[in-house]
Structures are given as C-alpha cells and as structure tokens.
Structure 1
Amino acid sequence: MQFIVIIFTITFVIADYNCPGGKLTDQERSIILCHHNKLRSDLIHGKLRNSDNISMPNGKNMLKLTWSCDLESSAQSWSDHCILGSSEMYTRYGRGENVLALWVISGVEYYEESAVSEAAKVWKAQLRHYYKNNPKNRFISTHDQEKASFFIQMAWGKTHEIGCGVSKCGYDRALVVACHYRPAGNIVGDLIYELGEPCKADKDCTTRKCAVKSGLCIK
C-alpha cells in the first residue's frame, strides 16, 4: 500500500492524556479520537451511506469514545510485533482490535500522525465498499460483514474506550497501526448500535450525560 502525507481537515482539541511510557503524542491520540467520534456522530445522524448507497439508520445511546492508556499499551505491544494481521482473540481478554499496515515508498518521508489518520479513514471506508444494507442493524457473521469488521468495531455503540499504537517495521518500510477497544464489539446477533434518535439532552441517554453537539452519550 502506498503512503501519502495526510492534510487534516477535522478540527480537534489536543488534551493531556497522561499515558506514561506511551509512544504516541497527545496530538496523535486526539486525532484518533476525533476520527472515531466524528464517524459515530455522523452514523447516528444518518449522514453516512453503505455499499448499497442507502443511508445508515439514525441511532441513540451511541457512547462517546474516551482514551485508555492501558488499551494504548496493549495495542502498542501488538503493533510492536510487526505482524501484518490481527492477534489471536483469546489473547485480547475481551478487547476489540483493528489493525492496518501501511507500506512506505522508498525515499518518501512519513509521519505517525498521518498513519493514525489514514488507518481510521481506511477502516471507515469499509462501510462504502463492503457493508450491505442491514435494516435490523445487527452484526451477522456474513462474508460481507466480515470484510467490514473494522468499520463495525469503530461503530459499535456500547464501546466506550480506545487506545492505539504505531510501530515502524520492516527496516522502516512499513507502519503498523493497531487499536484496541473496550468493550469489544462484533458480537454475532447483537445490535451494532441502537436505532433511534441522537440525544439532545441528558435525559435521552441511559448513561450520565449527553454531548449535545455530537449527539453522543458520555459514560
């Protein structure tokens, strides 16, 4: 896969995540969170379309993702293995996982910031490429849904924590991006996210609070 430098078009706030020993910068953490939460907000507002060119259904009780330093640590540990694929499920202890390898053209400078942004965009693109219309909005272990599994994990309504790692691999010719999620999504038969309307007030969320601008609920 060729790698290009990404120009960011999403506005985000850089927070202090206080992850001792983490390899990512706070800016990279903010970029990952912003991409994920924007996708989740756009989904429940019906702004995204699937591979059948049908709008995804509006949703409710979609949780806003927050950063987890221990998930960052476990994701970094996996990306450091430089294996171009997912870890065994039994090693994840209930964590979800998305992985992407980005190959670098010789002589082209690359940045971890661009890698984490590109990974989120590639996983989101599975919606348009592979995800068939699914009015019941449940995860079914079909071939097409399996090919969209990274998008589905990004969209899983009950997931509320994320942490990611990036590693240089193959004589610095590749970047491996791994993200871990808690709780894990992609449970066969379960709702990807609840159908309904995005929150406009705290009373609309089954959790503590509504982030009114995004329509996401804060756990």
Structure 2
Amino acid sequence: MNTQTFSHFANLIKSFIRFYNDLYSASAHNILEHVFQKGPSKACVDYKTLNLSEDLKEYIVSIHNDIRNHVASGQETKGGLGRQPSAANMNMLEWDDELAAVAQRWADQCIPINETIQHDICKRSKRFEVGQNVITAVTADQDFPELAALILHWYKQVGNVIPSDIDHFSGIKRGQFMIGQYTQLVWAKTRYIGCGISIFLDIQSSTPKKKFYNHRLVCNYGPAGNILGHTVYQKGIPCSKCAWGQCDIFRTSLCTSKDYGGRTIPKPKKDILIDEEELDYKNIKYRKVRGIWLDGQCKCDLLYRSNKNKIGVKQYVLLLVIGIIIIS
C-alpha cells in the first residue's frame, strides 16, 4: 500500500469514526484508540492495570470451569424454578491470548459506568464470533477486588433462569432480570476465554476530598454465546454428547478436545460455589463479603473490603445508600 492509498484509507476510517461518535457518543467508544492504540485512552484518569500472570489466568479459567462443571453435573439448585438441568455437551474452557488482548483494549477505554454502551460492539476474531461479559466495582481504593467474587456476580443470575431459557435463548433478560451474563458463562459451545482488567478514577462520584475508583473486568468468549434461538446447552447425562467423546479427568461433567491446550488442575480446597467466608486457592486468599438484599436484588454482596479496610454493618449499609456498589 503506497502513501497516498494509506492516507485515503486513514481518512475513510476517521470519517467513519466521526459518524460513529455522532451516532452514539465519543466517550462511549473511541474506535480509533480501541483498534490502533495500546494502553489507556485519553479518558482514563489515575489509570492502573493488573497484569495477569499465568497463575491468575489459570485461576480465572478454573473459576469458570468450576461453575460450568457444577451446572453441567446437575447440582445447581438455585434456578428460577429450582434445579437447573444437567448438560450433555458443555465444553471445558481454556485461555486465549487474542481474546485477552481485545478484552484489555476495551477495558483500557475507561468508559464511565453511566454510559449506555458498556460492551464492545466491534470485537472480532477471524476464528469465530466473540461474546463478552463486563463488570465494574466501585471502591474507595485502588486494590482490585477478588476475581472470584466478580465472576460469581455474573453467576448469581442463575436464580433468574428457568429450563425453557436453556432450550431456547431468547434474550439477555427474563422480564426485568438479567440472565445474559450467566448464559454466556455456561454456553456449551464456548471453548475459549480471555480477560482484561483496568482501574481508573470514577469522576462522577469522586470529590476533592474523597476519590473513588472503577475496577473493571472484561472477559471475552469464543465462540460467542447468547445466540438468539439456540440452546444454551443440550440437556442430558453430563458429558454424554461431547463433540470429541472425551471428558475431563477432574471436572468430569465437562468435555475436552484431543488438542486441549489448558492445564487441568484440581478444584480449590474450599468450593467457591458455597458461601464460604474465605477462599483459599493455590495459597492466594480472597475474601467474599456477604450480601444485603434490597428490593429483591442483591446490591452489595461483592463490595470489596480487605484486611486493612474492614467495615461494620452500619458503614456497609451507608456505602450502599451512597452507591458504592458493584455495577454489571
């Protein structure tokens, strides 16, 4: 491509970006930065990120696979009509660096939580369509909340799901209640996951005397789930309809391929799906904060507190009132 052709191509892209930003909002999604720029966008203030080590990547994948195995086995009892059906064809997930890179670019846009568009609408892969879950925790410090708690926040939507949702996916909401983050978590044909993290100043809630920070986790999934009219998974005996006829040796309700590239590891000492006060996984400790239910919805169960930032019940409720809660 010569210089003149490239310049013409760049001008076309800029024209499209101007049209897009007029149609939606410039702060909602800066495509130019999202596609071409690595690192935080100009919208980020007091930006930090959490570099994902191999252990943290493995931890994220393991949490997802624990959830998927639990549901696929038929042991999940918190559905909208009781027990969730078991899954005959649910795949084991493995980490994917391409999905993670795209997720990090989206996290790096530092989109305010009051923007309409919270999900990346231009995520792409040559291999498949890409699904996405996004969650933002707002806290008064820059220590990132426990990853297990954020992922379990998506998972708790299981309480809104009924068996017919599994047979025929018809949307990310059941009435006024969200189910789409849960259904993506357990979408049977999804095989890959990659996530990104950002921490940045919450300008809307911060004051000159007190700063609050957005802690954002973005996870991309491929092939994408939440396809209208499709099944979330096939009901049946766990691991009985695997595409490759092979089950995982630890999570025996999940299907693995012959070329599975992940590292299968035992479950944590304490089951993350049980309401344990403390999680202990590979000598990494995470604290879960018990929830308070308001108007039928849990507003606070993932509010972060560390050993150096303990709060009592009264302070806890006060934080709820002023809006220091998990946003998803």
Q: Normalised by the size of structure 1, how large is the TM-score?
A: 0.78
Matches within 5 A, 1:75-94: 75-83=103-111, 84=113, 85-88=118-121, 90-93=122-125, 94=129
Deviation string 1:126-153 (CA, Å, 9 cap, x unpaired) is 112x223427622112731771101100
CA distance in 2, matches of 1:70, 1:92: 10
In structure 2, relative to structure 1, the CA distance for the partners of 1:142 and 1:35 (3 Å cut) is closer
1:157 counterpart letter in structure 2: A
What residue is the counterpart of 1:19 in the other structure? none
In structure 2, relative to structure 1, the CA distance for the partners of 1:173 and 1:61 (3 Å cut) is same
2:91 counterpart letter in structure 1: L
1:216 matched to 2:216? The reply is no
Cα distance, 1:51 vs structure 2? 4.3
What residue is the counterpart of 1:127 in the other structure? 158
Deviates more, 1:91-100 or 1:130-139: 130-139
2:53 to 7, 13, 25: 25
1:64 matched to 2:97? The reply is no
1:181 matched to 2:221? The reply is yes
What residue is the counterpart of 1:8 in the other structure? none
Contact 1:96/1:184, CA 8 A, preserved across alignment: yes
1:102 to 121, 134, 137: 137
Bigger RCO of structures 1 and 2 (CA < 8 A, at least 6 apart): 1
What residue is the counterpart of 1:4 in the other structure? none
In structure 2, relative to structure 1, the CA distance for the partners of 1:159 and 1:40 (3 Å cut) is same
CA distance in 2, matches of 1:91, 1:212: 33
What residue is the counterpart of 2:64 in the other structure? 36
In structure 2, relative to structure 1, the CA distance for the partners of 1:69 and 1:133 (3 Å cut) is same
1:48 matched to 2:85? The reply is no
What residue is the counterpart of 2:195 in the other structure? 164
Question: Considering only CA atoms, is the larger Rg found in Structure 1 or Structure 2?
Answer: 2
What residue is the counterpart of 1:140 in the other structure? 170
Contact 1:49/1:127, CA 8 A, preserved across alignment: no
In structure 2, relative to structure 1, the CA distance for the partners of 1:68 and 1:57 (3 Å cut) is same
- Aligned residue for 2:136, secondary structure, equals strand
Identity %: 26
In structure 2, relative to structure 1, the CA distance for the partners of 1:218 and 1:102 (3 Å cut) is same
1:165 counterpart letter in structure 2: G
CA distance in 2, matches of 1:207, 1:44: 17
CA distance in 1, matches of 2:216, 2:103: 10
What residue is the counterpart of 1:12 in the other structure? none
Deviation string 1:102-161 (CA, Å, 9 cap, x unpaired) is 111x2x46236x1x2222110001112x22342762211273177110110000000000
Q: Normalised by the size of structure 2, how large is the TM-score?
A: 0.53
1:153 counterpart letter in structure 2: Q
Contact 1:50/1:133, CA 8 A, preserved across alignment: no
What residue is the counterpart of 2:235 in the other structure? 195
- Aligned residue for 2:158, secondary structure, equals helix
What residue is the counterpart of 1:10 in the other structure? none
